[in-house]
Amino acid sequence: MKLLITGGAGFIGSNFVHHILKTYPDYEVINLDALTYAGNLENLKELESNPRHKFVKGDICDGELMDRLVAEADVVVHFAAESHVDRSI
């Protein structure tokens, strides 16, 4: 099974990615994050050499990118968000 995780470099998303890869050895993860103020590649450092983890720097507002990534995935888990109301308006 291949999962597309949005917001996978943030606190919640990265912990979910680690959990999935640790618990389900047959699963693959496409991890999409824009790496704004909340995303941090340090959260994914342990996964750099994991062949079941693919990191993509990108924005969920990029329709072409999302079309391509969703087509590759069996499941989408959406964690991408702006945590400050003024940034999400």
**Residue 75: what pLDDT?**
98
What are 2-16's pLDDT values in tens digits?
A: 999 999 999 999 999
- Which helix (H) or strand (E) covers residue 64, if one does? helix 63-72
Going by pLDDT thresholds of 50, 70 and 90, the confidence category of residue 37 is confident
Range name among 21-25, 29-33, 39-43, 81-85 with the lowest pLDDT average: 81-85
Say if pTM beats, i.e. exceeds, 0.85.
yes
Long-range contacts of 61-65 (CB under 8 A, 24+ apart): 65/32
Per-residue pLDDT at 39: 87
CATH at residue 41: 3.40.50.720
pLDDT at position 84 is: 66
Range of the domain at 34: 2-88
Average pLDDT over residues 18-24: 98
Phi then psi for residue 32, to 5 deg, are -105, 125
pLDDT digits (tens, 9 = 90+) for 44-57: 999 999 999 999 99
Count of domains observed in the chain:
1
